[in-house]
Amino acid sequence: MFGREAESYAALIGDVVGSRRHGDRARLQRDLKVALARANRRSAGALAAPLCLTAGDEVQGLFRDPAAVVDAVVEIADALLPARLVYGLGFGSLETDLGPDPALLDGPCFHHAREALTVARGHGSWLVARGLGDPEDLVVSALFRLLGELRWRWTGLQTEHVARARGRPQK
């Protein structure tokens, strides 16, 4: 069922900003697990390897369809507000056999995602993309930076209204 593929993937690596300073890290991790399970259900057809926790509060997943990344990061962000996550999105191939555990996968898509995550952390961007080339990396990254800036400025009431409009009541 799983074998080496010569196709291109979108690897997503995310990290909770300031998680070590979070008041209740155990609850944050539980909430993150629930959000990942929900995102995995909604994106099941687009995933090559499910989103999962790989180290504390770091998230990794592998997408066959990069369009599904948008819904996944929004799903996770909505569930964890007011906590913030930053993401690196990397495009490319795999150098390992495809399998269900993204922590065991490796290749250019993950190398690009890790590089992009480092940039996202440094610039405070919601998501940075690498591996598409210019200008696509810049365009995708700029759009997510804009979306992140808008989302992170929402008041509690605005957040509730958006969650209700999407049919996702807040905790």
Phi, psi at 51, each rounded to 5°: -70, 130
Residue 95 within any structural domain of the chain: no
Residue 3 within any structural domain of the chain: no
Per DSSP, the residues of 105-117 read --SHHHHHHHHHH
Residue 51 within any structural domain of the chain: yes
Q: Strand, helix or coil at 70?
A: helix
CB 50 within 8 A of CB 101: no
Look up the CATH number of the domain holding residue 84. 3.30.70.270
User: Which pLDDT score is estimated for 3?
Assistant: 45
Band (pLDDT 50/70/90 cuts) for residue 5 is very low
User: Which is higher by pLDDT, 87 or 103?
Assistant: 87
Beta-carbon contacts of residue 72 (< 8 Å; ≥ 6 apart): 12, 39, 42, 43, 51, 61, 63
Range of the domain at 30: 9-90+101-165
Residue 1 within any structural domain of the chain: no
User: Which pLDDT score is estimated for 171?
Assistant: 54
- Mean confidence (pLDDT) of the chain: 89
Each residue of 125-160: pLDDT tens digit?
Answer: 999 999 999 999 999 999 999 999 988 888 888 888
User: Which pLDDT score is estimated for 168?
Assistant: 60
Instruction: Over range 20-29, report the average pLDDT.
Output: 80
Band (pLDDT 50/70/90 cuts) for residue 1 is very low
User: Which pLDDT score is estimated for 6?
Assistant: 57
Residue 171 within any structural domain of the chain: no
Angstrom distance (rounded) from CA 57 to CA 154: 23
Total of domains in the chain: 1
